Structure 1
Amino acid sequence: MSPKTDLEDRRQMLRMRTACLVEGGTLLLLLFVAVPLKHLAGFPDAVKAMGPIHGLAFLTYVWMLIRMVSAGGWSRGETIKLLVAAIVPFGALLSARTLTRRAALAPTI
């Protein structure tokens, strides 16, 4: 691989980490803020607002994951781990750690 490609891969992993944290954050807000507001406080608009925001963040994450994995260098197990972590509360923290480690191992120019 050329140094330019290595740097691009590292940047892609760091962008993926950001998308991961945004997706995980919106999931936590939806589950632990919006849903309780809907059911305990009778405020369904919280879910109506947060649901589409999380949906967009999730779709962006999956799209970026597909792009990153299709570039190569990711095992099936790592890919499944990153995908499953997106649907588990606090799973984004594990994915972010994986992506940070992987980016740190990427050669720099």
Structure 2
Amino acid sequence: MLNSAIGRFRLSGFIEGASLLILLFIAMPLKYMAGVPEAVTVVGSLHGFFFVVYVLVIGYTTLKIRWHFKWAAGALAAAFIPFGNLVLDRYIKRSFPAQ
């Protein structure tokens, strides 16, 4: 998976998407229902780091394989939607099967 730009993109998308889901469905309820605000501080910081790495990998992938602008814009938009990276990953696997 890490042998190609698409593979690295897919891995970073999975990590970023998972961190968003953990933030939304675990850390936020812990903060507001259980009174543990530290969960959002820690998970939010990690998610922020993973998001920055994801955006950099989008740029790298766009330059490396000469992605069309729609792929880069779609990848960035998917980062803001819960489960968006999983949906995008299905399109990536279909459109770039050899990579």
TM-score, length of structure 1 as denominator length: 0.81
- Tell me the residue number matched to 1:28: 21
Mapped to 2, the partners of 1:20 and 1:35 lie a distance apart of 21
Tell me which of the two structures has the higher relative contact order, counting C-alpha pairs closer than 8 angstroms and 6 or more residues apart: 1
Stretches (4+) displaced over 4 A: none
Using the TM superposition, give the Cα deviation of residue 100 of structure 1 relative to its aligned residue in structure 2, in angstroms: 2.2
- Map residues 46-85 of structure 1 onto 2, 5 A cutoff: 46-85=39-78
**RMSD, aligned CA:** 1.7
- Tell me the residue number matched to 1:92: 85
Paired residues in the alignment total: 98
Residue type of the alignment partner of 1:75: H
CA contact (8 A) 2:31 2:39 kept: yes
Percent identical:
35
Mapped to 2, the partners of 1:98 and 1:17 lie a distance apart of 11
TM-score, length of structure 2 as denominator length: 0.89
Using the TM superposition, give the Cα deviation of residue 12 of structure 1 relative to its aligned residue in structure 2, in angstroms: 1.2
DSSP 3-state at the match of 1:49: helix
CA contact (8 A) 1:20 1:92 kept: yes
CA contact (8 A) 2:5 2:64 kept: no
Using the TM superposition, give the Cα deviation of residue 105 of structure 1 relative to its aligned residue in structure 2, in angstroms: 4.0
